[in-house]
Structure 1
Amino acid sequence: MGSAPYYYTPSLGAAIIFVLLFAATTALHMYQMCKTKTWFLLAFCCGGIFEAAGYITRAKSATESGIPRYEIGPFVAQNMLLLVAPALFAASIYMELGRISAAVGGDAFLLVRRQRLTGTFVAGDVIAFLSQFGGSGLMAASNLSVRNIGRIIATVGLFVQICFFSCFIVAGLLFHHRLRKTPTPRLLDQQLPYQRHMYVIYGTSVLIFARSIVRVIEFIQGLDGYIATHQLFIFIFDAVPMFVVMFILNWIHPSEIKSLINGGKMAKWVRLVDRPIALAAEHY
């Protein structure tokens, strides 16, 4: 049993493993983004940096296992970084749906106008990000009442994220259903690989959604609740699904959709493929 503020002994080995995993997938994402000029993934790459940095600070805490009380700095850093990183992933995932619509000419099938789609969901994501960031900072306070206020603020931020993700998934499903029922002229004329990117959006959204549900339960239970005092939960329900999110988008990279709109290079894992002709007239 560890001492406050963790209430367990942080695992150095697990932290190092996830530092290496997140560093590797983030480095690949940055390479893919820069080579293909898929700049809307900048927030996604920042999320990967947050994840790697979060587990670096957990590793720092793990080296203090013999100290009577862990240093508060690394604890605060890992708590804030790991809590808010998925909000950065979400921002890029929201943007991808608008670009899929532009690529297939399916704006009429969107629940919200494409010009407002990204702004609407990203605005909600910013609110969630700021709430979680601010709340996690207050949770490190020495005053118990301030820590509880921080926990409540962070929980509200997670609820905002869950609500917007729920609406986003519904919007995506409705768009996909309408598009399959009534294919656009562009889909009838050309074989556009949009469906696998829609499935990527569903899969990554569900992983972030499920992770956020677990974090909400954790904060509702309290700072000394079962989830918060057992580190297995942060690895199984946070580290693993967030790494899977990043890995999936390494594998099926959104630059393929960007290239349908603007032409240029797209990433096929570590390989770059040229698509010289833009298939969509409207650019971002």
Structure 2
Amino acid sequence: MSKQELGMGCKPLYPGVSVSYGYVPTLGAGIAFCTLFGLSMILHTAQFCWKRTWWCSVFSIGAMGEWHTLWPTPSTRIITHSHATVEVLGWAGRTWSSKCPYNSNAFLMQISTLIIAPTFFTAGIYVLLGRFIQILGRESSILKPSLYLWIFCTCDVISLVVQAIGGGMASGESNKVNGNTKPGTDVMVAGIVFQLFSITIFVLCAADFIRRSMRHQLLQRLSGSVVPLFAAMLLSIVCIYIRSIYRTIELSQGWTGYLITHESYFIGLDGAMMVVAVAIFNVLHPGWLLPSSESVGEKRDITSSADGEETNGVSSSQL
């Protein structure tokens, strides 16, 4: 039986006939991650509906969610909800492959979704930092809040397109006899490296935001504790950063490399990292921890008035 014939339907594992993964994906892992990502998505949807913080929808429906809040057209709603299942679809493909290891559709499904899935989640972090800047004031950042969305989401879209093209090229060649997957793999690596570069720039901007906020004592204006939310944002971006480094090294080794043919690395450095990156905002949700612009504005006015009185040499205790 040819490799093309094996890729159609659901064929059992044949001794001596390799699969595209280099191993048969574990059924338990596929079910577990489908469940975890599915529950997280449902919780995020319930949370942003409950708190009515509609911009938080980016954590459950991906990068296009912010466009939904700006231009809530019916067509946009359809597009955003189609992106909500990216991570779940990828792990569903791996679950499918555990039973049908040669099926080309299952392999294409997981490689084309899981490689680009983090691109959607990073948008929520970009928007979150933008919200912090809106609340604390323009002096807290080197960039305007809106620029974080435009610049970094544009970079993410570019990375997404490049990775998707590379994934399609590579998966198509993997099912051919003596197919050359190197060109597609190189394109995928280029997309991941570009994403890694853009995330690095964002991390530097976030560090500058924290530095400015501490130097100008802007965090004192906040009515609630946002330290846990800061920690959640940092943990999430670190997890995505680790995952991007892993996938870059993995694909650089080729489709027969050590990392890509050992599932434990994929589970620990891709699946687990993304679960933490997304689920942390279920526990530390911005809708609960991020103060409103109105409450911060009132406190900012009070602080400014107090500073003005002290500057004029008249404090409340002297009246």
Mapped pair 1:169 → 2:184: no
- Report the AA paired with residue 169 of structure 1: V
What does residue 152 of structure 2 align with?
121
* 1:93-112 correspondence runs (5 A): 93-105=125-137, 107-112=138-143
What does residue 27 of structure 2 align with?
12
What does residue 274 of structure 1 align with?
none
Question: Over aligned residues, Cα RMSD in angstroms?
Answer: 2.1
How many residue pairs match? The answer is 259
Which is greater in Rg?
Answer: 2
What does residue 198 of structure 1 align with?
230
Q: Is the 8 A contact 1:140 1:147 kept in 2?
A: yes
**Residues 140-191 of structure 1 deviation map (CA, whole Å, 9 limit, x = unaligned):** 113566622211111111111111111111111111111112123xx44553
* 2-structure distance, mates of 1:6, 1:209: 24
Q: Normalising to structure 2: TM-score of the pair?
A: 0.75
* 1:211-250 correspondence runs (5 A): 211-250=243-282
* 1:77-96 correspondence runs (5 A): 77-96=109-128
* 2-structure distance, mates of 1:27, 1:133: 26
Q: Is the 8 A contact 2:93 2:110 kept in 1?
A: yes
What does residue 272 of structure 1 align with?
none
What secondary structure does 1:139 align onto? helix
- Report the AA paired with residue 234 of structure 1: F
* 1:171-186 correspondence runs (5 A): 171-184=205-218
- Report the AA paired with residue 139 of structure 2: A
CA deviation after TM superposition for structure 1 residue 85, in Å: 0.9
* 1-structure distance, mates of 2:220, 2:24: 58
Q: Normalising to structure 1: TM-score of the pair?
A: 0.84
What does residue 269 of structure 1 align with?
none
What does residue 135 of structure 1 align with?
166
What does residue 91 of structure 2 align with?
55
What secondary structure does 1:122 align onto? helix
- Report the AA paired with residue 195 of structure 1: V
Give the unaligned 5+ runs of structure 2: 1-15, 63-83, 299-319
CA deviation after TM superposition for structure 1 residue 230, in Å: 0.9
* 1-structure distance, mates of 2:297, 2:162: 38
CA deviation after TM superposition for structure 1 residue 207, in Å: 0.5
Mapped pair 1:22 → 2:37: yes
